[in-house]
Amino acid sequence: MTERLVKVYSRFNRLWHWSQVASIAILLFTGARIMGLHSVLPFGLAVMVHTVVALALLVLWAFVVFWLMTTGAWRQFIPSLDGFVEVARYYAWGVFRGQEHPYHKRLGRRLNPLQAFAYFALKMVLLPAIWITGLAYLLHGLWSHLDSGDQWLWLVANLHILAGFAVAAFVVIHVYLLTIGHGFRAHVRPMLTGFDRVDLTPEQEAYLETEEPGRLHPELRAKG
Amino acid sequence: MSRAYFCALFSVAIFLATPTLAQEVGADPPAVPGKGSTADHTKFEILKQDFASGPEVTRACLKCHTEASDQVMHTLHWNWDYTHPATGQSLGKKNVINAFCGNTASNETRCTSCHTGYGWTDTRVSAPADPTRVDCLVCHADTALYSKLDNQAGNPPLSPVPEGAKTITGALATPVDLSKAAMSVGVPQRENCGQCHFNGGGGDNVKHGDLSSALIAATRDVDVHMASDGLNFTCETCHLSSEHKVAGSRYAVNAHDLGGTGLPGMRRDVASCESCHSDSPHGASLIGMKLNDHTDRVACQTCHIPEFARGGVATKTVWDWSTAGKLKDGKPYHEAAFTQSDGKALHTYLSTKGNFEWGENVVPHYAWFDGQVEYTLSDEVIDPEQVVEVNRLSGSPDDGTSRIWPFKRMVGRQAYDTENLTLVYNQVYGPETDTAFWTNFDWSKSIEAGMRYAGKPYSGSYGFVDTYMYWPITHMVAPGEDALKCDACHARDGRLTALAGVYMPGAKLTLGGKLGMALFALVALGVAVHGGLRLVTGRGGDHD
């Protein structure tokens, strides 16, 4: 195994990530305004911004789903129990002992088992919960005649808010975990440049060098 | 023919033709006569006579308008009697008790001064069934030429006018020339309707709150429809009439017009916002769509009439009859401690009427409303421990039809029978009887006389009870830019926070928000503890 700097985050992948960062930040901020946690901007403006940004994010997600499916990148997110316990034990215990992170990124598997599980849950439960309730909430006018007394709207809105806080909690954990291991900057850099340290088999390295040399960064070659 | 001769002849022809051509091009076309009507009433011989009374004028009107009186006599404007189709209650001014002067029975010649007829002196029975007793002029004549005295059962001031006599608008009465008045008739103007409807309850804007003399020469910010420099609507632009029956009712309100707009020539019987604007009036944009989503739960008036009693005319908001009757040196007195924005001092106490409070630019009271109003009539048992609702609004958030409506909530304190537990009729206006309150200041006589007159049981003991009376607010629609902003309701201290049964984002922290914040706090705490431990153990988790 050789650790090389390999381009694992394609341009689209990074665009997806950072526009999602911006969208979610705006959605959390305007969402908090709509539910009355602050009044930095007028309610009506907050609703409009929240709606437009949410719709734009949905369009992005439609492209993402297409991209994940056609490129096979979806496999990255299939959860696996292999190494799960070790990673969990590291965050609960080893990190305080200065141990090395037990997981090393591989070419087809850049997420550790805990990450894969977290992202799987995010994509399959939390994000659908938020956009399904969000669309139902937005389109209440189409079904309000079935909802005298607004009981269903109450449920939809409350689930939407709860899911919103869950996303906010995810963001907190996500950002916090960047500070562990190689440090915050080292963890953010790959999402900017696209290159991350990956353990390559000799076959993978040989393949990339001949077929996709652009994906191999000149740095870290010596270390191999 | 010589050429010179021909030229001369041609020149003459041109010369002769020129003035005619110039006249045709330069002059205004002849004016269309009639000012919107096919009849000029100043040309009718029958109106050029010395009328001695109102009914004589009506007799002349009926010569041409043969069915007019009969039509009027079929309307609420004449009958003051209305059987509610849903509740079966007998309503109308003839029957109800209100939070102002109470009741018409026994107070007739004053109350019926605003009747569309002449000489209805006893509202226990129907108005006189004589076609000439219909007052055509009060609705159709120029209000500068015609008026009604405030205490003569609808009769106009005729020469000689008694010293100090007043008209129904409170102005000093001057003798009316009935012939000139009759020749001035046309379609009703806002001044016509306003004589009674702006001055209900005894003065300008006292009763409704959204109907005042400010609408006569309205500015755009007071009423976007009636603005004299804008759309310049009259009352009848919305309150269309057919066979003298005018659209719009406060007893059975068309509170949720699901019909929306009609084709030309259709629906002459509605005076709702939706009848012109439809139920999705906001533009085809994202914000428009969101606003349109509100129209099934929120009446147009709720956002578009942010405050009533605008335009500088205050409305009476509190009327406490229990303090009436106090005298100074044996004489009635008054206080005028409220100053209207135009500087005019308004009565805050009258020996005849008790204490008042007033308000301008009043924020409405909001309630779910399906258009039904039930009255606490004189035979209904009340609970004097509670605030008695003189009229009850029907509606709930989950009946599928009610919407949130704005109301003027009149706060009253008025007399009731402490044994029979009913609201009472009182005689306030006599004028010169020994029972009327305004001349004798004696409640027991006034109530006894009112109840006996109305044929109602009275125990002989009275007290005063707190009351509310609700007046739907639907006039004084503000320009779009002055409509309520979202934050007026979507806020912790918003206007509708007291109103249950609707999910209003931002109005309060609901369960999802509380759980979400708890979850977020737990996660933040977890991260803080984890990070703290890393610092304490000195490892930081950073390694190379």
Q: Give B387-418 pLDDT, tens digit per residue.
A: 999 999 999 998 989 999 999 999 999 999 99
Q: Is residue B501 part of a domain?
A: no
Share above pLDDT 70 across residues of chain A, in percent, rounded to a whole number = 98
B492 vs A contacts (CB less than 8 Å): 36
Q: Same structural domain for residues B324 and B218?
A: yes
B231 has a pLDDT exceeding 60 = yes
Q: Is residue B158 part of a domain?
A: yes
DSSP string, A137-162: HHTHHHHGGG-TTSHHHHHHHHHHHH
A150 vs B contacts (CB less than 8 Å): 297, 397, 501-503
B517 vs A contacts (CB less than 8 Å): 165
Q: Same structural domain for residues B118 and B250?
A: no
Taking the C-alpha atoms of residue B534 and residue B131, their distance in angstroms, rounded to an integer, is 98
B502 vs A contacts (CB less than 8 Å): 150
Q: Same structural domain for residues B172 and B226?
A: no
Q: Same structural domain for residues B258 and B134?
A: no
Q: Same structural domain for residues B48 and B145?
A: yes
Residue at a domain's end among B158, B186, B214? B186
CB B243 within 8 A of CB B71: yes
Q: How far is B150 from chain A (nearest CA, A)?
A: 48
Q: How confident is the model at residue A43 (pLDDT cuts 50, 70, 90)?
A: very high
Q: What's the whole-number average pLDDT of chain B?
A: 92
Mean pLDDT of B438-457: 96
Q: Is residue B538 part of a domain?
A: no
Residues A180, B501: C-beta atoms closer than 8 Å: no
| Residue A99 token pair | 């141990």
A112 has a pLDDT exceeding 90 = no
Q: For residue B9, what pLDDT is reported?
A: 58
Residue at a domain's end among B159, B186, B213? B186
Q: Which residue of B has its CA nearest to A94?
A: B541
B544 has a pLDDT exceeding 50 = no
Q: Same structural domain for residues B81 and B164?
A: yes
Q: Is residue A33 part of a domain?
A: yes
The CATH number given to whatever domain includes residue A18 is: 1.20.950
Q: For residue B492, what pLDDT is reported?
A: 93
Taking the C-alpha atoms of residue A107 and residue A111, their distance in angstroms, rounded to an integer, is 10
SS (H, E, C) B438-481: HHHCCHHHHHHHHHHHHCCCCCCCEEEEEEEEEEECCCCCCCHH
Q: Is residue A120 part of a domain?
A: yes
Query: For chain B, what is the domain count?
Result: 2
CB atoms within 10 A of CB B453: 20
B274-302 pLDDT, tens digit per residue, is 888 888 999 889 999 999 999 999 999 99
Q: Is residue A223 part of a domain?
A: no
**DSSP helix, strand, coil percent of chain B (3-state; round to 5):** 30, 15, 55
B495 has a pLDDT exceeding 80 = yes
Q: How far is B534 from chain A (nearest CA, A)?
A: 5
Q: How far is A85 from chain B (nearest CA, A)?
A: 18
Residues B487, A43: C-beta atoms closer than 8 Å: yes
State which amino acid sits at residue A99. Answer: Q
Residues A36, B290: C-beta atoms closer than 8 Å: no
Q: Same structural domain for residues B124 and B255?
A: no
B120 has a pLDDT exceeding 90 = yes
Share above pLDDT 90 across residues of chain A, in percent, rounded to a whole number = 52
B523 vs A contacts (CB less than 8 Å): 169, 172-173
**How do beta strands B315-320 and B403-417 pair?**
parallel
Q: Is residue B491 part of a domain?
A: no
Mean pLDDT of B113-127: 96
Between B9 and B338, whose confidence is greater? B338
Query: For chain A, what is the domain count?
Result: 1
Residues B541, A43: C-beta atoms closer than 8 Å: no
Q: Same structural domain for residues B210 and B283?
A: yes
Q: Is residue B526 part of a domain?
A: no
Q: How confident is the model at residue B1 (pLDDT cuts 50, 70, 90)?
A: very low
Short-list B73, B181, B198, B105, CA closest to B137: B181
Domain that holds residue B384: 201-418+461-484
CB B120 within 8 A of CB B110: no
Q: Same structural domain for residues B117 and B227?
A: no
Q: Is residue B496 part of a domain?
A: no
The sign one gets for the Cα dihedral B345, B346, B351, B354 is negative
Short-list B218, B160, B173, B209, CA closest to B191: B218
Q: Is residue A224 part of a domain?
A: no
Q: How far is A204 from chain B (nearest CA, A)?
A: 25
Q: Is residue B513 part of a domain?
A: no
Q: Is residue A221 part of a domain?
A: no
A52-102 pLDDT, tens digit per residue, is 999 999 999 999 999 999 988 888 888 888 888 888 888 888 888 888 888
Q: Which residue of A has its CA nearest to B397?
A: A149
Residue at a domain's end among B186, B217, B233? B186
Q: For residue B8, what pLDDT is reported?
A: 59
Q: Which residue from B296, B511, B519 is facing A144, i.e. has the nearest CB?
A: B296
Q: Which residue from B490, B515, B541 is facing A180, i.e. has the nearest CB?
A: B541
A154 vs B contacts (CB less than 8 Å): 503, 510
Q: Is residue A220 part of a domain?
A: no
Q: How far is B407 from chain A (nearest CA, A)?
A: 21
Q: For residue A114, what pLDDT is reported?
A: 85
Q: How confident is the model at residue B538 (pLDDT cuts 50, 70, 90)?
A: confident
Q: Is residue B31 part of a domain?
A: no
CB atoms within 10 A of CB B290: 18
A135 vs B contacts (CB less than 8 Å): none
Mean pLDDT of B230-255: 90
Taking the C-alpha atoms of residue B397 and residue B367, their distance in angstroms, rounded to an integer, is 9
Q: Same structural domain for residues B264 and B316?
A: yes
Q: Same structural domain for residues B238 and B359?
A: yes
Q: For residue A193, what are the contacts with CB-CB under 8 A and spacing of at least 6?
A: none
Q: Same structural domain for residues B238 and B168?
A: no
